[in-house]
Amino acid sequence: MERQIRIGSRESILAVRQAQIVKEELLKASPGLEIEIVTMKTTGDRILDKSLEKIGGKGLFVKELDYALLEGKIDLAVHSLKDMPMEIPEMLPILALTRREDPRDVMVLEPGKKSLIPGDIIGSSSKRRTLQAGKLYPGCIFKNIRGNVQTRLQKLEQEEYNATILAAAGLRRLGMENCITRIFSIDEMIPSAGQGILAVQGRKGEKIPGIESVACPDSIWAAKAERTFVRTLDGGCTSPVAAFAKVCGNEIFLRGLYYHEAAGEYVTGSISGDTTRGEALAEELANILKGKYE
């Protein structure tokens, strides 16, 4: 039976591309679907001159899409999982988590620049990235930068920034890998929880044809562990907490970062075990790292 599905997305080129990825997977499973992508600007997209922690956090990237789902204006919403708040509304569950794209962070230098020297300015709106990159580039200056991928790259050409740090997943989805100067290993820079995974959100109780084809079991296990680690440490969008889980067969390997504000330093650690114990392992690791400062 034919059915029309409306997928909600932020207006950025990357967000639309991510919605298209979900659309393509749905059409493979259910060729008879009619799928429309509906774009909208979120509060987080409109306010670019202030840091996220000053304007309300990650919820500002999903609020308008949540309302559109509740009001029936769209049937699905596609988000980068790393941009979603830790608490998901009961009426708007995550229906699927996609196969993970490259989870790592990357450095992009301004045009013509080959390497960084002390005094250079690195644009980063993430405390997590700034803390870890600060150890790799101790002589550089970190300055807040906001906006989508294209906006940040434009700022490298037009403003005083010499480099910026972005998610590899976004650049790869846009076919812009040629911009990448350096790829940070997971050990050098632990990613944000959920980085590289797309979350497909819908209304509770509604069935979407083909949605199961979008879901990746390994992403589900990894996301549960990473988000549990962050939640255990009360880490929100601006807290410099990081977590990355890799699933290998029946085993899950989790690496995490905890920042102690009073001490002004962070500690990292890892843990592994049976995949089905991912959330328990995440809590254990979070408490171990936190306990180092108690």
On whether the CB atoms of residues 225 and 243 are closer than 8 A, the answer is: yes
Torsion sign (Cα): 107, 190, 122, 148: positive
Give residue 42's pLDDT.
66
Give residue 61's pLDDT.
62
User: CA angle, 186 as apex, 100 and 218 as ends, to 5°?
Assistant: 30
Total-model pTM = 0.91
Q: What is the CA radius of gyration of the chain?
A: 19
Give residue 228's pLDDT.
97
On whether the CB atoms of residues 5 and 75 are closer than 8 A, the answer is: yes
pLDDT string in tens for the chain (294-residue length): 458 999 999 999 999 999 999 999 999 999 989 999 999 976 545 444 444 454 444 555 678 899 999 999 999 999 999 989 888 999 999 999 999 999 999 999 999 999 999 999 999 989 999 999 999 999 999 999 988 899 999 999 898 999 999 999 999 999 999 999 999 999 999 999 999 999 999 999 999 999 999 999 999 999 999 999 999 998 654 568 999 999 999 999 999 999 998 888 999 999 999 999 999 999 999 999 999 988
Question: How far is 79 from 256, CA to CA, in rounded Å?
Answer: 23
Q: Is 210 left (phi over 0), alpha (psi -120 to 50) or beta?
A: left
Please name each of the domains of the chain with its CATH number. Answer: 1-98+197-215 (3.40.190.10), 105-183 (3.40.190.10), 216-294 (3.30.160.40)
Give residue 275's pLDDT.
98
On whether the CB atoms of residues 278 and 254 are closer than 8 A, the answer is: yes
Q: Which two tokens stand for residue 264?
A: 């002004």
Residue in 54, 55, 109, 101 with CA at minimum distance from that of residue 82: 101
Question: How far is 175 from 123, CA to CA, in rounded Å?
Answer: 22
Question: How far is 211 from 207, CA to CA, in rounded Å?
Answer: 8
Question: How far is 251 from 12, CA to CA, in rounded Å?
Answer: 36
Question: How far is 123 from 162, CA to CA, in rounded Å?
Answer: 8
List 66, 75, 83, 120, catalytic entry: 83
Question: How far is 116 from 108, CA to CA, in rounded Å?
Answer: 11
Give residue 261's pLDDT.
87
Give residue 54's pLDDT.
46
Helical H runs in the chain? 13-29, 43-46, 52-55, 63-70, 127-136, 149-158, 168-173, 217-232, 278-291
83 is catalytic: yes
